[in-house]
Structure 1
Amino acid sequence: IGMVYDKMGEYSKALSSFERSFEIRKIALPPNHPDLAGSYSNIGMVYDKMGEYSKALSSFERSFEIRKIALPPNHPDLATSYNNIGLVYYNMGEYSKALSSYERSLEIQKIVLPPNHPDLASSCHNIGTLYNKMGEYSKALSSYERSLEIQKIALSPNHPDLASSYTGIGLVYDNMGEYSKALSSYERSLEIRKIALPPNHPDLAGSYNNIGLVYDKMGEYSKALSSYERSLEIRKIALPPNDPGLAGPYIRIGLVYYKMGEYLKTLQYYEKVQEILEKSLPPTHPHIAILMLKVLLNEAQRNEYSLCPVVAEAIRTILGVHHTNTLIVYNRGKATISNDDATSNL
């Protein structure tokens, strides 16, 4: 029951079911029985999805402690525990600890699994994602490419996991500024996803968005616009009408129009974003303030310099910034919010 609720995204109900199962097992089983480790792992999984990382970490570590006692030293379930702990550390931004856990998981898998087992590819992919996040792009690329090599042997040629590896490789090249290579990887990922997934799957929207981002950075704005618009079309089908996830595509399309000098269209897209966020977020959410500012800035785009004290007061109120000297300065298409403590660019 807990697994079903988990797949449905009803995490509080899933947690309740997993905890009830755990209570029964604690009574019926010895204190270090592997099934208790399984219960702790399930509970940790739900806490991780709920964003309660300290509770997730505690549950995963308790599961690991039991498995270390109950299982042989290189049992695959120990690799799973290391991976779960690494995932939580990753989500918490503690990348060195995450890397240590991921690498320990991979070490065990190399001992107990065949050399081209898909789980090895998953571990290499996780390590690649972590290195990319840490800015160690050559190591990230090596890990992603190793993952892809294994997947090409172990999986069908159009398996979605291959698309994920191509996306990871594209992301690294993108971060390295090698846009033609990034584009090639993103397009290969899209080709696979178009074969493997339903026509309006969210991952297709992600692929079109990635391609748009690269074209945007390359200054090929019409191609960027085409990709962004395709991403938006899919998201509009896959998501509710005012889902906050629609805001990102509208923002990116608006920015492309801004770079193309089509300021009226920019304003129209930002107003659409503001409408979405006002309906989907609390009125004091910071996104509302930032979008208010961006809309007004684009209305004032013909002014080389302009101070916006009225907007500054709105920003102060919404963000809880009470410095009377907060200024919002518009200068040649860029904005700066500044006060005695900090300066932020928009």
Structure 2
Amino acid sequence: MKTEFRGHYYSLGFLLYRKGQYEKAKQYFEGLLFEEALDDYNRAGCYRGLGLVQVYFEQYDEALMNHQNELSLANKLGKEINIALTNLSIGDVYKCKNELDLALSYVQKAFDFFSPLNHPDLSFVYRQMAEIYDEKNELQLAIEYYKKSIEIHCQHLPENHAQIGLDYAMMGNTYGKKRDSSKSFEWKSNNYKQALVCFVKARDIWLKSLPPNHPHISGAENNIRRAKANMNENWSQ
């Protein structure tokens, strides 16, 4: 049964997605797409949501197909901000498929739209760039982009918003990768400490902004334990 939530039929699916109920969100979006009376705006939203859920399930080819459908409708509707956001999502899928240069080309399209506007969604562009450079092993550049994402998110979102927690968690993962054996003990120790600080910040934010059983929280706890283990291992060497 079709349910309208806050003005858009697809919004309930995004609510389920944010709560970490990914299978329910997938089923909801798929069900809506069978509705013949669904207009192009809501249909594009369903394709977007389904693409995001499929990325979570690592169904990247299916996610790419749905985001391409979303892009076709966004172009038809002529909404430039939706076109930019869809390009960003397509870039994310290509990043997951390890087609990094292609991913960066789509993210650049989103950057070209959002940057002159100093738009709040520029934070997601910076995060996506950070993820790509992380995959390219350009870790310091990735950290710089995560910091830019955090800065913009903090300007436009509440203090303990879940998106800020996600920035910190991802930046913590990048700090944890900086394990150059040629570097000094102090250099490696500082990176492990920075990773731990990021993971703790992410967990504390998510405890205030997400349901207690959300997978992000248990993931943050695992990251904290791993960061502490890395620090102990570094001290023992």
TM-score range, shorter chain: 0.7 to 0.9
- Which amino acid is 2:55 matched to? Y
> Which sections of structure 2, spanning at least 5 residues, go unmatched?
180-187
- Any residues of structure 2 matched to 1:123-142 within 5 Å, and which? 123-142=86-105
- Which amino acid is 1:222 matched to? N
Report deviation, 1:225.
0.8
Give 3-state SS (helix, strand or coil) of 1:93's partner. coil
**Residue in 1 that maps onto 2:191:** 223
Equivalent residues of 2:64, 2:93 under 8 A apart: yes
Change beyond 3 A, Cα 1:181–1:42: closer
- Any residues of structure 2 matched to 1:270-289 within 5 Å, and which? none
Report deviation, 1:139.
1.4
What TM-score, normalized to structure 1? 0.53
Change beyond 3 A, Cα 1:82–1:237: closer
Greater displacement, 211-220 / 161-170: 211-220
Equivalent residues of 2:41, 2:73 under 8 A apart: yes
Change beyond 3 A, Cα 1:218–1:153: same
Quick one: which of 26, 35, 45 aligns to 1:80? 45
Cα root mean square deviation, aligned: 3.3
> Which sections of structure 1, spanning at least 5 residues, go unmatched?
1-18, 26-37, 264-346
Give 3-state SS (helix, strand or coil) of 1:180's partner. helix
Equivalent residues of 1:221, 1:260 under 8 A apart: yes
Give 3-state SS (helix, strand or coil) of 1:260's partner. helix
**Residue in 1 that maps onto 2:234:** 260
Q: Matched residue pairs, number?
A: 217
**Residue in 1 that maps onto 2:34:** 62
| Aligned-partner Cα distance in 1 for 2:163–2:196 | 14
**Residue in 1 that maps onto 2:155:** 195
Equivalent residues of 1:213, 1:224 under 8 A apart: no
Report deviation, 1:102.
0.9
Change beyond 3 A, Cα 1:87–1:66: farther
Q: 1:113-150: per-residue Cα shift (whole Å, max 9, x none)?
A: 25xx2211211111111111111111111112211221
**Residue in 2 that maps onto 1:104:** 69
| Aligned-partner Cα distance in 1 for 2:135–2:224 | 23
Which structure has more RCO (C-alpha within 8 Å, separation ≥ 6)? 2
| Aligned-partner Cα distance in 2 for 1:101–1:225 | 40
Q: 1:248-299: per-residue Cα shift (whole Å, max 9, x none)?
A: 3422321331341259xxxxxxxxxxxxxxxxxxxxxxxxxxxxxxxxxxxx
If each structure's helix is expressed as a fraction of its own residues, which one has the higher value?
A: 2
Change beyond 3 A, Cα 1:84–1:209: closer
Equivalent residues of 1:202, 1:235 under 8 A apart: no
What TM-score, normalized to structure 2? 0.73
| Aligned-partner Cα distance in 2 for 1:55–1:107 | 22
Give 3-state SS (helix, strand or coil) of 2:98's partner. coil
| Aligned-partner Cα distance in 2 for 1:105–1:187 | 30
| Aligned-partner Cα distance in 2 for 1:81–1:209 | 27
**Residue in 1 that maps onto 2:164:** 204
**Residue in 1 that maps onto 2:84:** 121
Equivalent residues of 1:87, 1:98 under 8 A apart: yes
Change beyond 3 A, Cα 1:88–1:155: same
Change beyond 3 A, Cα 1:139–1:200: same
Percent same amino acid among aligned pairs? 21
- Which amino acid is 1:232 matched to? V
| Aligned-partner Cα distance in 2 for 1:76–1:133 | 27
Quick one: which of 96, 113, 127 aligns to 1:150? 113
Rg comparison, structure with higher value:
1
Change beyond 3 A, Cα 1:230–1:52: closer
- Any residues of structure 2 matched to 1:228-267 within 5 Å, and which? 228-233=196-201, 235-236=203-204, 238-239=206-207, 244-262=218-236
Equivalent residues of 1:118, 1:154 under 8 A apart: no
